[in-house]
Structure 1
Amino acid sequence: ALMSSPPAKLRVQPDDESPAILPDELITEVLSHADVKSLMQMRCVSKTWDAMISDPKFVKLHLKRASRNPSLTLFLSKSRIDGDNNVVPFPVSCLIENPMITLPNDPYFRLRDKECRYVIGSCNGWLCLLGYSSIGAYRQIWLRFWNPAMHKMTEKLGYIWDNILGLYTHFKFAFGYDELSETYKVVLLILDEARNRTNVQILSLGDDMWRSIQSFPAVPLPFRYSNPGVNDVVYLNGSLNWLALRDSFRSIGVYGWKNVNVKEFVIISLDLGTETYRQLMPPCGFDEMSPVEPSICVLKDCLCFSNDYKRTDFVIWKMEVFGVEESWTQLFRISYQNLQSMHLDFVDLQYSQWLPLHLSDHGDTLILANKQERQAILYNLRDNRAVRTRITDDIQWFSAKVHVESLVSDILKVSAS
C-alpha cells in the first residue's frame, strides 16, 4: 500500500529546530547576492533567517556585494508636462543590452506624491530628496530620505527659509556618509557674493539641526547655481568632492572659460568625518583651457576628471589612489569623430559639455551624457562605436544618479512609505 506520508525520520519540521542542511556561512554568502525584494520575502522563512538578514554585519556585506554588481540602478529625473518629476529606476545592464529600453511608469516613484521635486544624491541605498513650497516672496525648503527598495521614507526635516530665488541662485546640496561616526550628512553650500565667499552648513541626520563649519576654500562650480539635482558633486570614500576655482568670484557665463587659467582649477574634498577640507590638483595632462567646462565623476570606485583636448578628443583621467595627486593616469581618450551622429556633427560635439555616468563592470562600455542631446550615449571602448539610447521620455541625464539597492534601514527613525 502507498504511504500517505513519509516515514517520521525523513520528515522535515517547518520550524527553527530543523537541522540545517547547509552551514550558516554558506547560506549567508548565497543570500548576500540576492536582491532586496527577495531578501525581504526570505525573512518570513524562519526566525533564524529573519535575524540573519537583519543583522548589521549581513546588511554591510550585502551592500558591498550590491555595490560591485554591474546591475546598478540609475535614477533619472523625468519631467512631465505638468511639472511633476519622477525617478525612473532601471538596471544599467539592461540599458547596455538594449538602448531602446521602455521605462516603467510606476506611480510609486512619483516625487510629487512625496512632496518633493529633486533627487539631491544617492548613498548606500538611500536617496536624498528636496522639496519646497512658496509663501509670498519666500520659499520653505525641506529634505526627505527614501530607501525605495525597503519602502522606507523619513518625515520632512532640515527646514530652511530663503527668498524665492535662493534655491536656484545661492544653494548647493550634497549627501554622503560619515564612516567615522556612521552618520549620514547633508552639506549645504550658500553663495555669499556680497562677502565674496561660500558659507557651508552641515546637517547630521540624527540631529535635524544645521550647523556652520569653515567656509568653502574656493569657488565651487558651476559659479551660477542651477537645478538642485544636477551632478556637480561626487561622493567617494567618506568624502564629498567639488570641482572649483581658486581665485575670486567671477561669472563664467559672462566672461567665458577662455579667461580662466587651468592652474585656477582645484578639486575640493570635504572629509565628512573630520569635516575638514583638502585640495587636490587636477591631472598634469590638463594643461590647456578650452571653451568647454571640465567635470569630475566616479567610475568604478575611482575619482575621475574629464576635459576637452584641443577640441578633437574627450579625455578621462583616473585617480588610482584617492587623494594621491601623483596617481592620476589617463583612462580613456575618445575622438569626437567617433561620437558623431546624424543630428550632431563634429563642430557641435566640440562645444558640448560631457559627463561620464557609468562604466560597465567589464570596463568595455561607457555611458555618457552631453548637454546637446536628449539621449545618452553608450560608447563601446573595444570597437570605438557610439550608440544613442532611444527613449521617448524627456530625461534629464545630467541629473542621473547611480544608485545601489540596500537593506540599510536605520538612517534615522523612519516610517513606511
Structure 2
Amino acid sequence: MNQELLANLPSDIVIDVLSRLPIRAIISCKCVCKSWLNLLNTAEFINYHHSKSTPGIAVLQYQMRGDFLTLFEIKDELEPDEHHELHYIPITQLYIDDVVKISYSITLEGSTNGLLLLREISNKPDSLYICNPITREYTKISSPENTKRSYPTVVTYGFGVSSVTGHHKVVWISHDCIRDRETHKLLSIPRIECCVYTLETGSWRSISPGEPMEYTFLTNGGLLNGRFHCLVRDLKGSFFISCLDLETEVFTTFSSPCPLPGSRTNLVGLAVLESCLCLCDNTSNNEIVIWIMKEYGVEKSWRKEFVISKIPNHIGETYEAVHPIKIFKDGDILMCWWDFHMLYYCNKTKVTQSISVFTPQSEECLDGMLYSPSFLSLKSRLKEDAVVSTY
C-alpha cells in the first residue's frame, strides 16, 4: 500500500521531497527505480533543486601526490556553542589527473550553475575544462590563443551565465603592458583583445574589449547580475571596476571605493558577498579591509563594512590576495588567503584563525570558492557533436 501510494504521488511533490535530500542521497535515489532516475534527470528537477540548494565551497588542494578538488557542504545557522570552523562536510572529491592527464598546474577560474571552470597552465596556450563534479562530466575547451604566452602578456579569465538566455560563457581577456624599466610605471597598452566562448554553441567570438585597461591575472572577478567584474587600472594609474554584461557583451566601468597603492594591486580582489559586489584590500600589514557596494552600480553606496585585524597570527608584509567566500548569518566570514590558508573570522570575538580541516601541509597549497551543487548535465547544454567525458 505504501509503495503504491509513493508510486502515485504527483511528480511535483516527489521533486519537492527529493530535492531536500543531501546530494549523496539524491544520487542513491537514481538507483531506486527507473521512474525516479528519469524524474531526477528532468530539467524541472534540476532547476528546482538548484534554486533550493545551499551553497557550499569547492576547494582545490595542490599536493605532491596529486591535485584534488573537494566539494564541502557548509552549515550556516549554528547552535550558540558551535563554531563555523568545525562544520565542513565533504560530499564528493575529484582527482584532477582523472580529467587532466598531463597536468602542469591547475587553477579554479570560476563557478556558476553548479559548473566549474578549470584552467591548465603550461608553456603552451592554456587548456580550459568545464566540469560538473556532481554529475562527474567534463568537456575540454581550447584557448583562443594562437601563440605561446610570455611576459608582458597578461591573460584574465571569467566564467558566468547570461541573465536572459541562460547561456554559459567563458571570458578571455589578453593584453600587453609596456612599463618603464626602472620605475615599472605603466607606459602603454599596445594590444588588448577579448573573446567569449559560449558553451551552448561551442565556439569563440571576438568582442570589443572597450577602453585599454590593465587587468590582473592573480584574482578572480566577481559575477553578479549577469555581469563579470574585474579590477583594472588605466594609463593614468586610476583604478576602476570593469564590468562585462554577459548578455549584451558590452564593457562599462565604475569607480573603486578607495585609492589603491599602484605597486601592490595583486593584493586587492573582487568578490560577491550576500548578493553585493565587494572589494577586499590586503595591502596593509596589519588588517584586511572589505568594502561592500550596498546598491549595485551606485558608486556612492560603497561602504567599508569590515576591518579585520591580522594580529597576532597573520601580521606582517603579505604577498597574496585574500578572497572573501561567504558571510554567515551571524556575521562570521569565510576567506581564502590564496595558496596558504582558509581563514575564519569570528565577528563576535574579532579573531581570525586558520580552519584546521583545510590547513595545508608543508608541500601543499590550496584555493577555494563558493559553489552551489547542481545536477545540470553538460550533455544537455552542448551541441550533439560535442565531446563530453566522465570520470
Verify same fold: TM over 0.5: yes
> What's the counterpart of residue 251 of structure 1?
none
1:173 pairs with 2:157:
yes
Letter in 2 for 1:145: I
Report 1:151-190 matches (<5 A): 151-158=136-143, 160-163=145-148, 165=150, 169-190=153-174
Deviation at 1:41, TM superposition (A): 2.7
> What's the counterpart of residue 31 of structure 1?
18
> What's the counterpart of residue 245 of structure 1?
233
> What's the counterpart of residue 373 of structure 2?
405
Letter in 2 for 1:87: L
- Residue pair 1:292, 1:353 contacting (<8 A) in 2 also: no
Q: TM-score, normalised by structure 2?
A: 0.78
Using a 3 Å threshold, how does the CA distance of structure 1 residues 130 and 358 change in structure 2: closer, same or farther?
closer
> What's the counterpart of residue 60 of structure 1?
47
Using a 3 Å threshold, how does the CA distance of structure 1 residues 317 and 395 change in structure 2: closer, same or farther?
farther
Deviation at 1:200, TM superposition (A): 0.6
- Residue pair 2:197, 2:203 contacting (<8 A) in 1 also: yes
* Worse-matched range after superposition: 150-159 or 399-408: 150-159
1:129 pairs with 2:129:
no
Task: Work out the CA distance in 2 between the residues paired with 1:389 and 1:13.
Answer: 45
Task: Work out the CA distance in 2 between the residues paired with 1:129 and 1:25.
Answer: 35
Q: Which residue, out of 127, 130, 134, partners 1:142?
A: 127
Deviation at 1:210, TM superposition (A): 2.1
1:40 pairs with 2:27:
yes
Q: Which residue, out of 224, 234, 237, partners 1:236?
A: 224
Q: Which residue, out of 293, 303, 307, partners 2:277?
A: 303
Report 1:6-405 matches (<5 A): 11-12=1-2, 18-20=7-9, 24-46=11-33, 48-66=35-53, 69=54, 72-80=56-64, 84-93=66-75, 96-98=84-86, 108-111=94-97, 113-115=99-101, 117-118=105-106, 119-131=108-120, 139-158=124-143, 160-163=145-148, 165=150, 169-193=153-177, 196-222=190-216, 225=217, 230-247=218-235, 260=237, 264-283=238-257, 286-287=258-259, 289=261, 292-293=264-265, 294-307=268-281, 313-336=287-310, 339-341=311-313, 344-345=314-315, 348=316, 351=318, 354-370=321-337, 374-390=340-356, 391-393=359-361, 394-397=363-366, 399-405=367-373
Using a 3 Å threshold, how does the CA distance of structure 1 residues 148 and 296 change in structure 2: closer, same or farther?
same
Question: What are structure 1's unaligned runs of at least 5 residues?
Answer: 1-10, 249-259
Letter in 2 for 1:120: E
Q: Cα deviation per residue 1:209-239 (whole Å; 9 max; x = unaligned)?
A: 32211124242433xx4xxxx4332222211
Deviation at 1:243, TM superposition (A): 0.4
Using a 3 Å threshold, how does the CA distance of structure 1 residues 80 and 235 change in structure 2: closer, same or farther?
farther
Figure out how many residues of one structure are paired with residues of the other and give that number: 361
- Residue pair 1:316, 1:332 contacting (<8 A) in 2 also: yes
Deviation at 1:31, TM superposition (A): 2.4
- Residue pair 1:140, 1:162 contacting (<8 A) in 2 also: yes
Task: Work out the CA distance in 1 between the residues paired with 2:269 and 2:74.
Answer: 22
Letter in 2 for 1:381: N
Deviation at 1:113, TM superposition (A): 4.5
Q: Cα deviation per residue 1:139-172 (whole Å; 9 max; x = unaligned)?
A: 2433221111111122454564322537x94322
Deviation at 1:246, TM superposition (A): 2.4
Task: Work out the CA distance in 2 between the residues paired with 1:53 and 1:326.
Answer: 46
Letter in 2 for 1:300: E
Task: Work out the CA distance in 1 between the residues paired with 2:207 and 2:312.
Answer: 46
Q: Cα deviation per residue 1:171-227 (whole Å; 9 max; x = unaligned)?
A: 2221111232221111111113475242111111233332211124242433xx4xx
Q: Cα deviation per residue 1:262-314 (whole Å; 9 max; x = unaligned)?
A: xx11101100100001112222xx25758653321111222101236976543
Letter in 2 for 1:179: S
- Residue pair 1:245, 1:265 contacting (<8 A) in 2 also: yes
- Residue pair 1:124, 1:406 contacting (<8 A) in 2 also: yes
Instruction: Name the one with the larger strand percent.
Output: 2
* Worse-matched range after superposition: 273-282 or 42-51: 42-51
Q: Cα deviation per residue 1:27-68 (whole Å; 9 max; x = unaligned)?
A: 4333223233322332344455444433323322211222xx
- Residue pair 1:175, 1:184 contacting (<8 A) in 2 also: yes
Task: Work out the CA distance in 2 between the residues paired with 1:120 and 1:388.
Answer: 23
Task: Work out the CA distance in 1 between the residues paired with 2:371 and 2:24.
Answer: 15
Q: TM-score, normalised by structure 1?
A: 0.74
Question: What are structure 2's unaligned runs of at least 5 residues?
Answer: 77-82, 179-188
Letter in 1 for 2:20: H
Task: Work out the CA distance in 2 between the residues paired with 1:236 and 1:353.
Answer: 24
Task: Work out the CA distance in 1 between the residues paired with 2:260 and 2:3.
Answer: 72
Task: Work out the CA distance in 1 between the residues paired with 2:25 and 2:91.
Answer: 20
